[in-house]
Amino acid sequence: MPRWHPERTLLLGALARPHVRTHARTRARTIARSAGPGPSTIGSRAGRHEADDRERGSAVVEFVFLGVLLLIPVVYLVLTVAQLQGGSFAVVGAADQAAKVYVDAATPAQGEERAREAVRIALSDFGFSQDQAAMEISCSAQCLAPGSLVSVVVRLEVPLPLMPATAGSSPAAATVDAAATQIVERYG
């Protein structure tokens, strides 16, 4: 049986004698540490330990820093898309309700007043103001004549989230619009 030589284990590592792996590693570390810093330990495990101690914990700091740096734009993008989706739902509901209340009114003036109120309520349900929206009403023939078509178009400028309005203007992410058409009943 060949004799075990610590120098060979240090050079060959744990592959030299797999059945004494734990002892060989322990012995190799002890020899490397006792040699002290010098030409024999350059590039060895002992030299790398000092550099590792200086770097200890920096991965956590880098991960947190980069995580926050990348997370903020993603969260803002999600907020903007949610704001646009809310604006889209608001104008669809506002146009539909405005057209329905307009055709049930007795006069065109009363119909327009009711339609504006329906748009205001539908927009406020989604957190938008009537000042951000525009409403257009058009009729196929004389408004509120039996069998005529009433079309309502609502346009909304969706503001960017978390951006304050300055001097009466608010930065808009996009403009969304919706149209709805209702028929005035013939025998209403």
Q: Tell me: do 46 and 65 sit in the same domain.
A: no
Q: What CA–CA distances, in Å, run from 146 to 13, 106, 115, 135, 182?
A: 97, 12, 19, 23, 12
34 belongs to a structural domain:
yes
pLDDT classification of 183: cutoffs 50, 70, 90: very high
175 belongs to a structural domain:
yes
170 belongs to a structural domain:
yes
From the list 92, 91, 165, the residue with the least C-alpha distance to 134 is: 91
Tokens of 163: 């951006």
88 belongs to a structural domain:
yes
Q: Tell me: do 39 and 130 sit in the same domain.
A: no
Question: Measured between alpha carbons, how far is 57 from 67 in angstroms, rounded to an integer?
Answer: 16
Question: What is the structure's pLDDT at 56?
Answer: 74
Q: What is the mean pLDDT of residues 5-27?
A: 53
Q: Tell me: do 19 and 87 sit in the same domain.
A: no
Q: Tell me: do 178 and 118 sit in the same domain.
A: yes
Q: Tell me: do 101 and 178 sit in the same domain.
A: yes
Q: Tell me: do 73 and 122 sit in the same domain.
A: yes
Kindly report, residue by residue over 124-169, the tens digit of the pLDDT: 999 999 888 999 999 998 888 999 999 999 999 998 888 877 776 7
Q: Which of 25-39, 44-58, 61-75, 118-132 has the lowest mean pLDDT?
A: 25-39
Of 24, 39, 56, the residue at which a domain comes to its end is 56
**Order of all β-strands in the sheet with 133-139:** 133-139, 149-159, 172-183
Question: What is the structure's pLDDT at 118?
Answer: 96
Question: What is the structure's pLDDT at 42?
Answer: 52
Where in the sequence is the domain holding 94, given as residue range(s)?
59-183
Q: Tell me: do 150 and 83 sit in the same domain.
A: yes
Q: Tell me: do 40 and 69 sit in the same domain.
A: no
Kindly report, residue by residue over 60-110, the tens digit of the pLDDT: 888 888 888 999 999 999 999 999 999 999 999 999 999 999 999 999 999
- How far does Cα 91 stand from its chain's mean position? 23
Q: Tell me: do 151 and 117 sit in the same domain.
A: yes
Total count of domains within the chain: 2
Question: What is the structure's pLDDT at 45?
Answer: 55
Q: Tell me: do 44 and 69 sit in the same domain.
A: no
Q: Is the pLDDT of residue 27 over 60?
A: no
Q: Tell me: do 152 and 138 sit in the same domain.
A: yes
Question: What is the structure's pLDDT at 32?
Answer: 53
What percent of the chain lies above the pLDDT cut of 90?
46
149 belongs to a structural domain:
yes
Q: Tell me: do 159 and 172 sit in the same domain.
A: yes
DSSP 164: -
Question: What is the structure's pLDDT at 82?
Answer: 95
